[in-house]
Structure 1
């Protein structure tokens, strides 16, 4: 992510797109789950390919917020599991008692943006923030 010193609000949305797609690859999520986490219609599979190529993330507030939360989730996981890459990358697909034995991905798929906030908040609390 490139933030220019003279204009801190400017963020390279193309770099964000590539980062979030790389994250989806690390998490090894099927296309359907990737679309759900990004809040995209299941018919919008082509958007994933465009994001992989660096097409900027939409300026749509929901889409931008989702990407921000997904990257925040990853940051939390990296800090919680610094020496366990396997757990770091499998956590989103692992059943969790905190989510009524659902996976974090299932929570987001079922509850949409609110589910994403629940997962992020859970990890924030786990880190003590």
Structure 2
């Protein structure tokens, strides 16, 4: 379902929404983490994860959602699709992020972009 103020969802919006939900599920993230990563409100993040909201195209939430899916895809590629290992990486302190857990870093826009670039660079080495 769409948020009442939203225009009809496009195929792109439905695909991105499904990708965000699946990425969050595979990484073991709930609505509290997701809201901070993509910049949505708590109720919106909850509705999104429960299949009652489709991301509207454009805007910051859309852009951050695209980067979040990019992060998941890169990380999944690096760990061979092992979601448990991906979750472990996300929740463990990392020297590349000044000892912070990537999960905390990606809750900032610059951190999300940095993590995507970091993972993409390591994926390119494969």
Q: What TM bracket, shorter-length normalisation?
A: 0.7 to 0.9
Give the number of aligned pairs.
Answer: 115
Post-superposition Cα deviations, 1:51-100, rounded to whole Å, max 9, x if no partner, equal 23152212242111111111111111121111633212332222111001
Distance 2:56 2:64 in 1: 11
The ranges of structure 1 where at least 4 consecutive aligned residues each deviate by more than 6 angstroms after the TM superposition are none
- In structure 2, the partner of 1:73 is 71
1:93 aligns with 2:91: yes
Structure 1 unpaired stretches of 5+: 1-9
- In structure 2, the partner of 1:118 is 114
Considering fraction of residues, name the structure with more strand: 1
CA contact (8 A) 2:27 2:83 kept: no
Distance 1:39 1:17 in 2: 14
Query: More displaced, 63-72 or 21-30?
Result: 21-30
Q: TM-score, normalised by structure 2?
A: 0.77
Q: What value does the CA root-mean-square deviation take over the aligned residues?
A: 2.1
Structure 2 unpaired stretches of 5+: 1-9
1:102 aligns with 2:100: yes
* 1:49, distance to aligned residue in structure 2 (A): 3.1
Distance 2:73 2:81 in 1: 14
